[in-house]
Amino acid sequence: MLDLHKLHAFVVVVEERNITHAANRLFIQQPPLTRLLKKLEEELGTQLLIRQPRGIEPTEAGLALFKEAQLLLEHARHIPKLVQDVSQGKTGQLNIGFTSSAGLHPLISLVLRSYREIYPNVQTKLEEAGSQKQLDRLISEKLDIAFLRAPISRDIGLKHHHILDEPMMVALPIGHPLTQKEKISSNDL
């Protein structure tokens, strides 16, 4: 496996076209840099650089390595930020469950839209299912969050938050005896 340190040194040498200048830029002495380049050539089994009186020229194999090494090093520079972003929830995927009736509520679409604006690099995967299936998927960690209308038992190992109370109406046919009452209690129903 190629060592990023060696690749970085190689890229600097090709950019500088001079071992002394590259060594200065890398804050190392020229002999260790020369040994590092020789070891890289041995590991790859081919000559990467041609030493000329006026500096260094990459071979065709050296140019191929140079291009790939630049891409690899650029990618490697972004890895710490990527890992931090994932650990802080700024990127990745959020699996969201909702019941069909909860999905129609304007609050849910507002919350999802706001979340996407704040965290544009997080993909949201929406899954519609019944309450029990969502609870099962939360417990098995296949969902990260779920919007439910049914109450949750406190002893199933899930943290839940009450976010909304909604008014309910009773619809009755005209002429139904309960339509004559001013107020209808749940016992009446």
pLDDT of residue 14: 97
Mean pLDDT (whole number) for 24-47: 96
Measured CA to CA, the distance from residue 162 to residue 18 in angstroms comes to: 67
Closest C-alpha to 40, from 61, 25, 23:
61
Mean pLDDT (whole number) for 78-99: 89
Q: Is the pLDDT of residue 172 over 80?
A: yes
Closest C-alpha to 98, from 144, 146, 136:
146
Annotated domain spans of the chain: 4-86, 92-147
Q: Is the pLDDT of residue 85 over 70?
A: yes
Characterize the bridge pairing of strands 49-52 and 55-58. Answer: antiparallel
Q: pTM for the full model?
A: 0.59
Q: Which amino acid is at 179?
A: T
Mean pLDDT (whole number) for 134-158: 84
The domain 92-147 is classified under which CATH number: 3.30.413.10, 3.40.190.10, 2.70.240.10, 2.60.120.620? 3.40.190.10
Q: Is the pLDDT of residue 154 over 70?
A: no
Mean of per-residue pLDDT scores for the chain: 90
The residues, any chain, with a CB within 8 Å of residue 13's CB and separated by 6 or more, are: 19, 22, 33, 37, 49, 56
Mean pLDDT (whole number) for 78-101: 88
| Structure confidence at residue 187 as a pLDDT band (50, 70, 90) | confident
Q: Which amino acid is at 116?
A: R
Closest C-alpha to 48, from 70, 63, 26, 33:
63
Mean pLDDT (whole number) for 19-26: 96
Q: Is the pLDDT of residue 93 over 70?
A: yes
Answer whether 36's CB lies under 8 Å from 9's CB.
yes
Dump strand ranges (E) for 49-116: 49-52, 55-58, 92-98
Mean pLDDT (whole number) for 166-179: 85
Dump strand ranges (E) for 55-144: 55-58, 92-98, 122-128
Q: Is the pLDDT of residue 21 over 90?
A: yes
- Tracing tokens 């098995």 back to the chain, one arrives at 140
Q: What CATH number is given for 4-86 in this structure?
A: 1.10.10.10
* DSSP β-bridge partners for residue 124: 94
Distance of CA 143 to the CA centre of its chain: 16
Mean pLDDT (whole number) for 141-147: 92
Q: Is the pLDDT of residue 161 over 90?
A: no
Phi, psi at 128, each rounded to 5° = -95, 130
DSSP-derived secondary structure letter, 28: S
